[in-house]
Structure 1
Amino acid sequence: MAFTTATALIDRQALVDNFNRVKAFAPKAKVLAVLKANGYGHGLERIAQALPQADAFGVARLDEALALRAAGVIKPIVLLEGFFAEQDLPVLAVNNLQTIIHNRQQLTAITEAELEKPLKVWLKIDTGMHRLGISPEEFDDFYQTLSASDNVEADIVLMSHLGCADEPENPATNTQLALFEQLTSAYDNEKSLANSAGCYAWPQTRYDWIRPGLILYGVSPMAAPEQSAQSLGIKPVMTLQSSLIAVRPLKAGEAVGYGGAWSSPEDTIIGVIAIGYGDGYPRHAGNGTPVLVNGRRVPLVGRVSMDMITVDLGKNSGDQVGDLAILWGQGLPVEEVALYATTIPYELLCNITRRVQIEVI
């Protein structure tokens, strides 16, 4: 009997369809597709090669950018955290990489470096998220210093990052937008503000560049459950699946798994699925977390183990060893699983481990 071990199906057409959907939100804007954290767990190089229509790619760190270049990706690549050390700057220049500038140390390093050619720079302003970015009071100084440097290309992109765009009723986004406008409206430079939630919910933030991340992978970036991926018109790119490796009867009152943390209230049939936290399935997924077995929802019961989970198939189950189980993706939104695991979809997607088989469809 053939079993399906823990496997992540990557749907390239869904990815392209999602890209086209996002592009339709802002048809005049260029798209910086965000591929950090191994393409949100989908495969860094794989996602880049599947999106030749993107205008640029965004990664967090230099090693991710170099991996893309090694894979033959020639599109512009932006380091979203910027460079970490002075010695990185010649590497950026040789590999035609762009960098965000968000602190004084980076400003000093880039203006004092000896480079063979200037670098393309994105200047990040903190408009209220208070994570990365220069203060509004520093903007003029940074902008003028970068503009005067022979190490910096003339067309600096002005940008900021939205902290609450997933909540349309939250006034923070309008506050950030107003400050960004106040600081940058007098400049003809290209601008970028919209993340995934901004692309969908905040037309005023789309400017010249949009920076979709999670939404490209078919996951809703919005906080409200009713603003689901389906309602946004996007499709899951990853479907995580495995197989039943055991089907066994359980009597009322009998416990399952480590610590006997769940006992069945009635006679039932338990299914054991070959996946666990060693594959990236969330350790803290609680009893009742939905799993699709043969296309129907059944609840997770008992503790998640390193290599296995158990589900209550029901006393009338006809499921058999080898049958398919879907943990999230097609038919079961990862957003829903994340709620049961008291986490967010980003973490689930990014935590897929190396032993999970990848199949591109």
Structure 2
Amino acid sequence: MSEILLCSQSYKNNLDIISTHIGSKEKLGVVLKDNAYGHGIEEIAKLASTYGIKSVFVKNELEAKKIAHLFEHITILYGSLSSNAKNFHLTIHTDTQLDNLPQNSLIELKINIGMNRNGINPENIESVLQKIMQKKIHLFGVFAHNGYGDDIGEDFENCQKIFEEIKEKIKYFAQKMGFQTPRFHSLNSSGTFRSQNIQDDLVRVGLASYGYLTTDFKIPIAKKLKPVASLYADKICTHFLKKGTKIGYSGVTQLQEDSFVSTYDIGYGDGLFRFNGNQEAFFTADGYLLLPRSSMDCFSALSTKDRICVFNDATILAKIFNTIPYEILTNLSSFIKRTIV
């Protein structure tokens, strides 16, 4: 059956690069949301824990519970919380989320610094802090998401200036209202790599930990990142077919010469993007031409090998389908076996 192999050495390499850049392993938080960007949350969590990571970020409580035993701090980015685990920190995007939280809940405030999607608006910070104090909720962290890390221009720096102002404001209110100063973080992968003097308490690195960076400009250190995941497919059967033979739905592929053609056990039902014949030619990582159209459960290729590596670098597929590595990776079904190597 198809399988995703996770290279533990590549993952460690990436965390080493990031830790060296920020100057401390302790300041490195990793993002494990959405099944660890399609890599497998339980598998990657084991690697992160072994490395010494203390803080991680997940999509919801379901993901948090799967890895609760591995980390000191697990921030839940969306949804609600049914348990009051001591290492779970719920993200607060709006003050109404505070209404149903029990006393002593641990939370992190998300602040809107320019993406204008989720988070507390800066002008409402004081009233939200007052509500937190009234309800006797523990403010563990305050964070933002700078949505301009990949881009050239002033927007990234402008958002960071806003966050620095917010940090000072919250430190002032902490002293005034009598609560402990929370931890602060605002940088994702690209924001981390482009910053030379990081003043936050930690960084939140997702994509770079898996071996990718998607900036519109070159960052030399990013060249050392190594993709962690490789997707493999196993052969279903092989046919020897004559020149001119049509293959698959609507006969989109017509052989240009006598060939051995095999089918392999992964398709768009497993999250591999669908090749319909309109894309440029795609060769697997080990050099075999994929023959469209691919189907829900399988694809054909000019190969007789029992197992082929579909890809070991998601950027190639991302370019073909005019998207980003995130989408290629997170699209992979959780039903595909993940194996650490």
User: For this structure pair, what is the TM-score category when the shorter chain's length is used for normalisation?
Assistant: 0.7 to 0.9
Residues 221 and 119 of structure 1: is their aligned pair in 2 closer, same or farther, counting only changes over 3 Å?
Answer: farther
CA positional deviation for 1:260:
2.4
1:287–1:299 contact (8 Å) kept in structure 2: no
Residues 248 and 170 of structure 1: is their aligned pair in 2 closer, same or farther, counting only changes over 3 Å?
Answer: farther
SS of structure 2 residue aligned to 1:283: coil
Residue equivalent to 1:65: 64
Residue equivalent to 2:165: 182
Residues 207 and 74 of structure 1: is their aligned pair in 2 closer, same or farther, counting only changes over 3 Å?
Answer: closer
Residue equivalent to 2:293: 303
Q: Which runs of 4+ in 1 moved over 6 A?
A: none
**Residues 280-312 of structure 1 deviation map (CA, whole Å, 9 limit, x = unaligned):** 2112573412313xx3x343331111222223x
Aligned pair 1:163/2:154, yes or no? no
Of 277, 280, 288, the residue aligned with 2:281 is: 288
Q: What TM-score does the superposition give when structure 2 sets the normalisation length?
A: 0.84
Residue equivalent to 1:316: none
CA positional deviation for 1:99:
1.7
Residue equivalent to 1:274: 265
1:247–1:321 contact (8 Å) kept in structure 2: no
Of 81, 89, 100, the residue aligned with 1:109 is: 100
Residue equivalent to 2:211: 218
> Which consecutive unaligned segments of at least 5 residues does structure 2 have?
172-180
Identity across matched positions, percent: 25
Cα distance between partner residues in 1 of 2:282 and 2:153: 30
Residues 151 and 66 of structure 1: is their aligned pair in 2 closer, same or farther, counting only changes over 3 Å?
Answer: farther
2:54–2:71 contact (8 Å) kept in structure 1: no
CA positional deviation for 1:125:
0.8
> Which consecutive unaligned segments of at least 5 residues does structure 1 have?
314-318
CA positional deviation for 1:6:
1.0
1:165–1:202 contact (8 Å) kept in structure 2: no
Residue equivalent to 2:128: 142
SS of structure 2 residue aligned to 1:275: coil
SS of structure 1 residue aligned to 2:293: coil
CA RMSD of aligned residues (A): 2.7
- Which residue type is aligned with residue 238 of structure 2? A
Cα distance between partner residues in 1 of 2:53 and 2:150: 23
Cα distance between partner residues in 2 of 1:357 and 1:283: 20
Residue equivalent to 1:22: 18
The within-5 A match list for 1:1-361 is: 5-28=1-24, 30-52=27-49, 53-69=52-68, 72-81=69-78, 83-84=79-80, 88=81, 91-92=83-84, 94-110=85-101, 113=102, 115=103, 118-146=104-132, 148-149=133-134, 151-153=136-138, 156-167=140-151, 169-188=152-171, 189=181, 190-203=183-196, 207-223=200-216, 231-244=222-235, 245-246=237-238, 248-252=240-244, 254-264=245-255, 270-284=261-275, 286-292=279-285, 295=286, 297-311=287-301, 313=302, 319-322=303-306, 324-329=307-312, 333-361=313-341
Cα distance between partner residues in 2 of 1:170 and 1:301: 42
Cα distance between partner residues in 2 of 1:276 and 1:32: 34
Residues 50 and 350 of structure 1: is their aligned pair in 2 closer, same or farther, counting only changes over 3 Å?
Answer: same
Q: How many equivalent pairs are there?
A: 325
SS of structure 2 residue aligned to 1:291: coil
**Residues 239-266 of structure 1 deviation map (CA, whole Å, 9 limit, x = unaligned):** 11124442534525x4332122333456
SS of structure 2 residue aligned to 1:140: helix
CA positional deviation for 1:45:
2.0
SS of structure 1 residue aligned to 2:317: helix
